[in-house]
Structure formats: C-alpha cells, structure tokens
A = this chain, B = another copy of it.
C-alpha cells in the first residue's frame, strides 16, 4: 500500500523537478545567450512553468499521498528523509496564497526598475516607498507560515532549515565580537601590494586559465560547462548537467578566477551527490549555508592558500609571463589575501566579508520587526559600517542601495547563508585536515582528488538526506560553531600581517 503511494509520490516529484529544471534551462539561457528582445516572452514562459509546478505540488492528491505516507515519514532511511523533505516543501507551498505571490512579483519588478534608475545618484527618496512596500509584503509573506517564534524564522527556514533568528543572532554576536578587533588590528598594519593583479589580463586567457583550474580541482566538464554571464551562478539541470558561469574583468585577475573557483565549488558539491537521489527532493544541496560552505571552502580555504599557489603560480606565470613573471609566491599570496575595510560586500575579503553580511542580517531583522523604519535605514547602515568597519559611505549608492538585494524580491532569510557558509567551510576543512594531516602537501602537489574524495564521501554524496546541523555533526563531530573559522582567520592573517591575536 504505502509502496505504491511512495512510487506515485516519487513519480510526481520527478515531474515537478523536471518542470523546474526546464524553467532553469530557460533562465540559464536568459542569463547567458538570449537576445534582450526575447525577455518578455521568456518571462511569460518561465512563469507558466512555475505555475504548473506549483499546481502539481499543491494538488489535492498530495494531501492524500502525505496522509498515506505518514508512517514512511517516520522511517530513518532514505525514503523517510525523502518524504519528510517533500512534505515540508509541500506544506510551505500550500501556505502562501497565489494572489500574494503575484502581488510580490509585480511589486518587486517595479521596485527593481526604480532601484536601477535611482542607484547611480544614490537617490534613496526615490526607492523608499518601494522598499516600504517590500517590507510590508515580506512581513505578510512571512506571516503566512503558521509556526514561528520570530517573523524572520520561516524565511530563514526556507534556506537554512533548522536555524532560527535566535540561533543566528547568537552565532553572529559571538562572531562579530571576534571579527571587529581582528579587522582593527590588521588595519593598523601596512597593506600588501596587489597591483600585479590589476595589470591587463586578456579575457580569453583568463577563461582558459580558470577552466584549467576548475578542471584540476575536479569540476567535471563532461557533466557541465562554463559560460559568460553578468552575475555568475551555478545551476543544476540534472545529475549529469551541472553548469557554472563566470564574468571577466580584464583589469583584475582575481574576479574571474576566484569567481570560477567559487562556482566550481558549488558545482562539485552537486556533482558529488549520489546519482540515486537525482530527480528527488534529496538530490540537491541541503541548505544555503552548507552550499555556500563548499563554494567558500574551494574559493578561500583552498584557492587562497599558499599550498594552492605553490601549485598554480608557475602555471599562471606560464600563461601570463609578462603580467606575472616578476611576482614571487610570497608576494602573490599576500596580494590575493589583502584585507581592506571597504564599503561594498561583494568586493570584500575573507576577513571583513562576514561583517558586511551580519550588518545586512541585523538590519533586515529590525526592518521586519518594525523597530527600524525604512526612512531611517541609510543612517542606521552608515553608523553600523562606521562602528564595525571604520568606514562610512558618502552616498547610499555605496551604502544601503549598493546591491540588488532588497530591491528585487522579498527581504529576509538570505544573508545568513553567506556567513554560515564561511563558518561551516572552516569547520569542515579543519576536519578534512585532521583526516589528512599532509593535506597542504597534497594540494601543493596538485592532488585535489584526495580532498574532493573526502568531501564526497563525507558530505556531497548525501545531498539533502540529513538536516544541515546533523550533516555538519556527521562530518565534523560537532554542531555548527564559529571556533574553527576564528582559529583559521587568526592563524592565517596573524602570520600574514605579523599580528598576534
């Protein structure tokens, strides 16, 4: 009985996954190759596929299926995990009225246009009414979900299941207390040179170098590919078709290179998921935080390490002899790890990045709670930048209007994942290092398969089978905590900047 219901559920979930994959192919094309003139029709087509997937997910038959499968959902096996995750997605999908979804979509589309027009001059007054409406809609959206202690909880739960406003706040408070003095101590030291990264690096050669690096790390191009786009992303169409995108700045080697390693990290996670999970709700990365941990692990803990560049600097120098021929390993390593108290999150380094993220998170909490008025946002932003980073934007262009977040969709539930990613990455990497004490030697010798194999065995293969906190415990023996990340920063940047923390 429950076996036939289970088989019916799986078949329906596969159809829903296929509709979503089809929509993603349309989105990928829109972001890479589509002529701009095709946007209207494309938007309509993507919306239609989304509506069809939503209709199937919320069909009356689903209620019967999940009722009939309640015993399976208790099981400790793969099918139990599958039914639980599917049921949660179904519950979430049934909570929000489609009229509200439509209202959010049409409002945020207008808000996005207003932001693109107002950003260059930093005209916050022009976007303020839009943001006020977005906050209201975000609150109404969050209120659709019945169980919550805090208004933000259901939004966090959508991306980082198991985390709450309270648990994130506690984690972030501890992290901020550690980070601020580290940043201050570094700021007093002389800044290393990174001018060599800003020489002219032709786009084609950068793309070829990035692809070589991604391939050697273990991104499988036979089951993926790389294309150019404006805002790089990783996207999964199926277990054997997982793509990355990048962009190139001919006057900064690091943009495309570390961006490519970042997306390849996301993609290697997806490529490592067991094939048996493909087309099920378990066949994907388990949470925003864990996903980001793998992009950041490869980008920062591997890609910005000395061991990595012991391997790749000679290769980079062979590809760019005129630009990098005069740079030694130490100079290069210091240059790519320069810490700067900058204003813009997306351009910030490994040390300061989380401060940007926590600022966003805290302001979102206050906006949604109503304790911060939209009108007071610019001043709240600037004051926090000054206290955390010691710099102050001269205009909202570099402050609370600096990126498209808050102007293109609801607010809340997104930013915590970026900081969690850094924290989890360090914790997982520390365990990998404990399992392979000679890890640095392996990396500098070009053996990335050991690390990737360890990650696949311990983390990637499981997809979304285990909840994030349980998964991290299985991999590292401990719940998610900031200790390893703080140890990593103190050790690496203490040595780099000659500071004792």
Q: Which residues in A have some Cβ–Cβ distance to B below 8 Å?
A: 15, 18-19, 21-23, 25-26, 28-29, 33-38, 40-42, 44-45, 48-49, 52, 221-225, 227, 237-241, 278-279
Please give me the residue from chain B that is nearest to A221 by CB atom: B35
CB-defined contacts of A44 to chain B, threshold 8 Å: 18
B-side contacts of A34, CB under 8 Å: 241
Contacting pair B237 A38 (CB below 8 A): yes
The chain B residue with its CB closest to the CB of A227 is B33
B contact residues around A278 at 8 Å (CB): 41
CB closest residue in chain B, given A23: B22
Beta-carbon contact of A26 and B22 below 8 Å: yes
Contact A35 B239, beta carbon cutoff 8 Å = no
A264 to nearest B CB, angstroms?
A: 15
List 23 A-B residue pairs with CB atoms under 8 Å apart, sorted by A's residue number: A22-B22, A22-B23, A22-B45, A22-B48, A22-B49, A25-B29, A25-B45, A28-B29, A29-B29, A33-B225, A34-B241, A35-B223, A36-B222, A37-B241, A38-B223, A38-B237, A38-B238, A38-B241, A40-B240, A41-B279, A42-B237, A42-B241, A52-B52
Q: What's the Cα separation between A29 and B223 when bound, in Å?
A: 14
Q: A22-B45, A34-B241, A41-B237 are in contact. List 7 more A-B contacts (CB 8 A).
A: A15-B48, A25-B29, A25-B45, A37-B240, A38-B223, A38-B238, A41-B240
In the complex, A221 Cα to B241 Cα: how many Å?
28
The count of identical subunits is 2
Q: Least Cβ distance of A51 to chain B in Å?
A: 9
What are the nearest 9 A-B pairs in CB distance?
A: A38-B241, A41-B238, A37-B240, A18-B45, A37-B223, A18-B48, A22-B45, A25-B26, A38-B240
Q: How far is the CA of A402 from the CA of B177 in the complex (A)?
A: 74
Contacts of A21 in B (CB 8 A): 41, 45
Task: Name the distance in Å between A427's Cβ and chain B's nearest Cβ.
Answer: 33
In angstroms, Cα B201 to Cα A116, docked, is 45
Task: Write the nearest CB–CB distance from A338 to chain B, whole angstroms.
Answer: 37
A68 to B: closest C-beta gap in Å: 25
Q: What distance in Å separates the Cβ of A29 from its nearest Cβ neighbour in chain B?
A: 6
Tell me which residues across on chain B come within 8 A of A15, comparing CB atoms: 48
Contacts of A37 in B (CB 8 A): 222-223, 240-241
Q: Which residues of B contact A35 (CB under 8 A)?
A: 221-225, 240-241
Complex Cα–Cα for A36 and B238 (A):
12
Q: Which residues of B lie under 8 Å from residue A223 when comparing CB positions?
A: 35, 37-38
CA distance A462 to B495 in the complex (A): 73
User: A28: which B residues are within 8 A, CB to CB?
Assistant: 29
For the complex, give the distance between the alpha carbons of A240 and B241 in Å. Answer: 28
Tell me the minimal C-beta distance from A2 to chain B in angstroms. Answer: 26
Q: Which of B41, B225, B238, B279 contacts A241 (CB 8 A)?
A: B41
Contacts of A29 in B (CB 8 A): 25, 28-29
Residues of B close to A227: CB separation below 8 A? 33
